[in-house]
Amino acid sequence: MRRRLDSEPGEDAPSVLPAEPVGGRNVIVSLDLTQRLEEDEYEKRLEKLQGRLNQLSRHKKFKRTGIVAVFEGNDAAGKGGAIRRVTAALDARHYRVHRVAAPTDEEKSHSYLWRFWRRIPPLGHVGIFDRSWYGRVLVERVEGFASGADWNRAYGEIRDFETSLHDHGLVVVKFWLAISSEEQFRRFKDREKTGYKRFKLTEEDWRNREKWDEYVQAISDMVDRTSTDAAPWTLVEAEDKLWARIKVLETICDRVEERLESL
Amino acid sequence: MFESAELGHEVDKATWKKEQPVLREDLLAAQFELLEKNAFPVVILVAGVDGSGRGETVNLLNAWMDPRTIETHGLELPSGEEQRFPPMWRYWRVLPPRGKIGILFGSWYTAPILGRVEGKLKSGALESSIGEINRFERMLADEGVLLLKFWFHLGPRLGALRAVRRFRGDLRARASADEPWPRPMDRRRGKRRALSEPHGRKGPARGRATAAR
């Protein structure tokens, strides 16, 4: 203890990742954001999928598995709306939604992943994360809240973390909800105008727009480095909210069905 | 494997009397500075063979230092409730925050070691468990945790002797600050022993409860 207390802190380590997309392309800019659904098609498919998810969650083998669902995406991409369409299909006693924002003092005095380990659901339950442990390699990386040493090691730590969830039997689904910069601007403007939505918009949201390209790079690195067989990323074209919600529900149903069949 | 721990290391009473107060003062000073600066978390893993004095030692630490910022955990076999969560979950729960000290009886080593000794784990699986443990501890270190790991060892002869005496209720299990400690170890070297940490029993040494339940 004495040695550590008396020692000096070390220097920061430089990043090992490229700063720009190679050849101008990455998984984010290559998304086809024109995907959309008609309203009545959406209503039909929504009902079927919510029914399917409900059945799966009440399957007798579901208590030997569970779901960890991570929702990340641009501001105003529609994470909240997608989450609501998922929880509508589930029994409230068996799911929890965790909104992840700036860390509390207690969370800051523990290791980074501690705050997430506390919220992992037991078997038979569902844990939904509205923003997540990916904060370190997204906002903390871009805004410099985390040192280079910290966010560079985070990719491997996240892979290990998700693998241990998977090995225990949980289904880990991760969604990146993507919208274009123009669409985000339109939605921000709408929020400003609408009384009950104004609280959803902050100075920070506008500031983040200035770093759009850096975020694109960070997101692309995140997908490359943390998409694994145990926990693959699903990129959701969220320009059309209806399309996005259906894609989210379908993915969850498919993955849970796959797991239940293997049990 | 444990040869250097079976050399009959010993501390005589006079040295003990002289060094004890200095040690205690240093420990308290370090603990105080740790708390004041909110410096980093300290995690102490305590493992070892039966009768080796783990419980006594930890009780001594709690008596010498300020127990308000030390949490001691007995992590025996996972309960039914704990089994619903991934195995590492219950260790993450008890990790201390910055400025505090956590003492763990039983740790992320226990299951792989036992698994190997009981033959349930093939050597490949043990290797990969050790790999995971190394990455986990690397992360703790990168997050600033001071991780100290202690294996309490007894040679086979003394270990057997103590086990018998404890069984007969002869052994004084209470360790208080004024009693002479540690006891002199058997000088004779035992045969090489397999790694073991009996887990089917009810917990560490009898006497004062060591695990915070």
DSSP string, chain B: --GGG-S-----HHHHHHHHHHHHHHHHHHHHHHHHTT---EEEEEEE-TTSSHHHHHHHHHHHS-GGGEEEEE--SPPTTGGGS-TTHHHHHH---TT-EEEEES-TTHHHHHHHHTT-S-HHHHHHHHHHHHHHHHHHHHTT-EEEEEEE---HHHHHHHHHHHHTT-S-----TTS--SPPPP-S-----------SSS-S-SSS--S--
- pLDDT given for residue B154 in this prediction: 83
- pLDDT given for residue B172 in this prediction: 52
CB–CB contact A114 B95 (8 Å): yes
Dist. CA A155–CA A141, nearest whole Å: 12
- pLDDT given for residue A18 in this prediction: 66
Burial B9-26 (b: 16+ CB within 10 A, else e): eeeeeeeeeeeeeeeeee
- Chain segment B126-146, per-residue pLDDT in tens: 899 999 999 999 999 999 999
Q: In which order are the strands placed within the sheet that holds B42-48?
A: B70-74, B101-105, B42-48, B146-152
CB–CB contact B139 A149 (8 Å): no
User: What are the distances in angstroms from CA A19 to CA A157, A210, A217, B134?
Assistant: 21, 17, 7, 30
Higher pLDDT, B70 or B187: B70
Question: Which residues in chain A touch residue B91, judged by CB atoms under 8 angstroms apart?
Answer: none
CB–CB contact B135 A113 (8 Å): no
Dist. CA B111–CA B125, nearest whole Å: 12
> Which of A117-131, B21-35, B147-161, B193-207 is predicted least confidently?
B193-207
Least Cα distance to A114 among B99, B97, B63 occurs for B97
- Answer yes or no: are the C-beta atoms of A119 and A57 closer than 8 Å: no
Least Cα distance to A31 among A134, A230, A181, A226 occurs for A181
Which among A2, A157, A168 has CB closest to B139?
A157
- Answer yes or no: are the C-beta atoms of B66 and B28 closer than 8 Å: yes
pTM, to two decimals: 0.85
Write out the CATH class of domain B3-167: alpha beta
Structure tokens that stand for A190 in this block = 């709408």
Mean pLDDT of B58-65: 94
Dist. CA A155–CA A133, nearest whole Å: 10
Question: Which residues in chain A touch residue B143, judged by CB atoms under 8 angstroms apart?
Answer: 111-112
Chains A, B: CB contacts within 8 A come to 73
CB-based contact (8 Å) between A17 and chain B? no
Sorted by sequence, the CB contacts under 8 Å of residue A152 that are 6+ apart come out as A13, A15, A16, A17
Question: Which residues in chain A touch residue B86, judged by CB atoms under 8 angstroms apart?
Answer: 120, 164-165, 167-168, 170
CB-based contact (8 Å) between A112 and chain B? yes
CB-based contact (8 Å) between B25 and chain A? no
- pLDDT given for residue A112 in this prediction: 98
Burial A16-46 (b: 16+ CB within 10 A, else e): ebeeebeeeebbbeebeeebebeeeebeebb
**Is the pLDDT score of B181 beyond 50?**
no
- Give the model's confidence band at B196: pLDDT under 50 very low, under 70 low, under 90 confident, else very high: very low
Please name the residues between 46 and 65 in chain B that touch chain A, using a CB distance below 8 Å.
Answer: none
- pLDDT given for residue B199 in this prediction: 36
For chain B, domain boundaries: 3-167
- Answer yes or no: are the C-beta atoms of B199 and B114 closer than 8 Å: yes
Please name the residues between 117 and 176 in chain B that touch chain A, using a CB distance below 8 Å.
Answer: 132, 135-136, 139-140, 142-146
- In a 13 Å sphere around the CA of B117, the CA atoms on its Cβ side amount to 13
Distance from CA of A165 to the nearest CA of B (A): 6
| Level-2 CATH architecture, domain A33-262 | 3-Layer(aba) Sandwich (3.40)
- Tens-binned pLDDT, residue by residue, of chain A (263 aa): 999 999 877 766 666 666 677 777 788 888 899 989 999 999 999 999 999 999 999 999 999 999 999 999 999 999 999 999 999 999 999 999 999 999 999 999 999 999 999 999 999 999 999 999 999 999 999 999 999 999 999 999 999 999 999 999 999 999 999 999 999 999 999 988 887 777 778 888 888 899 999 999 999 999 999 999 999 999 999 999 999 999 999 999 999 999 999 99
For chain A, domain boundaries: 33-262
- Answer yes or no: are the C-beta atoms of B169 and B16 closer than 8 Å: no
Instruction: Assign 3-class secondary structure to A130-160.
Output: ECCHHHHHCHHHHHCCCCHHHHHHHHHHHHH
- Give the model's confidence band at B208: pLDDT under 50 very low, under 70 low, under 90 confident, else very high: very low
